[in-house]
Chains A and B, each alone.
Chain A
Amino acid sequence: MQKPNLSFWKVVAGMVFVGGAYATVVRFAQGLGAATNLSDQFPWGIWIGFDVLVGVGLAAGGFVIAATVHIFNLEKYKPISRPAILTAFLGYVLVVVAILFDLGRPYRIWHPLIMWNPHSVMFEVAWCVTLYTIVLALEFSPMVLERFGLKAPLRIIRSIYLPVVILGVLLSTLHQSSLGTLYVIVPDKLYGLWYSPFLPLFFFITAITAGIAMTIVESFLSARAFGKRLEKELLTGLARVIVVLLAVYFVFRVQDLFRHGQAELMFRFNQESVLFWGEIGLGVLLPMCLLYVERIRTRESGLFFSALLVVIGFIVNRLNVSITGMLHSETYFPKWTEIAVTLALVVLGFTIFGLAVKHFHVFPPEETASGKAALQDAGPPIFTRNIVLAAWAVVILGVITFGLSKNGRYKLDSMSNAIAATPLRAEPVEPELVLPEAFDYPVGEDSPGPVTFSHESHVLSQDEAACSVCHFGTFDILKDGVPDTESVTMDEMYEGGSCGKCHNDTDAFAVEECEACHQE
């Protein structure tokens, strides 16, 4: 049963890689225009919206679990810390690869490290992602060092592990939220259901939630793929945390919409509000309710399904912020090459994860036997029902106080209010037309006399100063004021060129009337 299944997935992976390789060639040989549907109106597509925003967010499990185990000393979560760190490390490496695809000049990716602009959110994100990728490499390194029995460097890593983890948490807090801050500067380009000055906070909370949910999903997939025992007790504990986080997020999010006067957008039943409810209803409320019920939470299928919903809701949220909620999103749908690169990166992540599990001690080898024993005397769960209820009470209380605080309306006033009192145009416009001086055409050998061209006699009135009649095609506008008259011949004019365009006896007197222009 399992063998044909495995080879089927290998075939799929192979096809995805071929597509990705072709798209890569198009991207780097012909540029972004050939490989993407991006435009000046819509400069950021799925390489940013999915590969970077979703990738970084789903990798948040790494810092959350690392903090749980090493800062909060909840040792029982240790069995899942290594796969979480590996997921995060792979996630960040792939994010960096995706950024290389997206940058117009990828070979300058190091520029932000040298050329500073502390006012730029992107600058901060660049630094944090760089440093955090290094931190993750350090956190991941024991797996490699153990494999090759390098004791001395292992000891060094262990001795600095706590500061490294703390640094990782700080960097993650900063850049997970800063990805939201990126959009704080576009208040009138991002739709009201998603724009908020609190975007950084929302991005941070959702990243933690989705990171934990991803850890659960990843554990299930690993159990299936590598025949690993499932740490169900631990995952159920994580699920309780997710319930609290989702509740906090939901209440905060909806309250924020009311606070900024955008709440009615939720009920417009246009494309945006449907996407909003898809994100909130299916990705926040439904899994929150499901995981709150103990019977569902403790069941493998219920736990997996709910965690998957959280992950999907998170993806929808990031795509809503970065793509569907943005101005001019109707002009953009990813080209197949964009999708091919994205798919290839996802599959690459799964492939490397599989290889890493095969070659390094990602899962503790003794977990089957002693892991179970450890679980049994782990003591009472940390998140008892009382604590969950208490958390709820705190949230509701907090929201009430926050709601009663001064309501700042963020929405910009409508222009129509501002202009209502102002009278519109009362009398016709009288532009002051400043015409160029008259100029003399050079006199040809058989010319009956010199010709002086005057703009004044050609412009009928100020109201009808139709410069573009002549100054498109026939006569270029001359920046230096010196006309290009050498090639003007009567023959040309008979053919309808130059002055003959209008002086054809229909629009104006014919060029045959010599004295009209040639003065004695």
Chain B
Amino acid sequence: MYGLGILRGLGTVLTHFVNTYLDDIRWLGRRYYNPQALAVRQGPKTAGIFTVQYPEEKLVTPEEFRYIPFLLYEVKEDGTKEDRCTSCGICAKVCPPQCIWIERTTDPKTGRPVPAPREFYIDIDICMNCGFCAEYCPFDAIKMDHDFEIASYDRTSAHIFNKERLSTSVDYYASIRPTNYAREEVARAEKEAKKAKK
């Protein structure tokens, strides 16, 4: 019969439409702003409304998610900050679009390089969020951030991130990537132990 195909198609649309109401009844007014409901709504069991009400509620960011890189520093007992970065330059070398600039510190007396960066720049207008810098850093000093809410009105002043803008404490890193952090800490402790043995 002519028109049957169209009717069947409309039936599919109707199912979707009805599903949204069934979903409503299921959560009884707690559909939004509710982590459990969000997990179901955005998971493979979703039926009905699929929308996430950004900015009031946000999708759960998976741990591996990457946006702009940042530098890690550790806070020592006396409150001073110590960069993990040793300015070895591997991130700058591996960066595909070459958006990382590192200025190495030199000892003013001897003129020899000191393992700490004097300055560290990332041009985020070039950065392609590939995560190579974090992946190949041997010191776990540069990692990819989860923060994507960085839209701005002006790029000339704001879009070359310097060391100050990039530096974040290790605690923050541990909070956004707990599994990775735990694994890396174990590896670091092992390395330290080996060093101490020698």
Chains A and B are bound partners: no
Binding site for A on B (CB under 8 A): none
Binding site for B on A (CB under 8 A): none
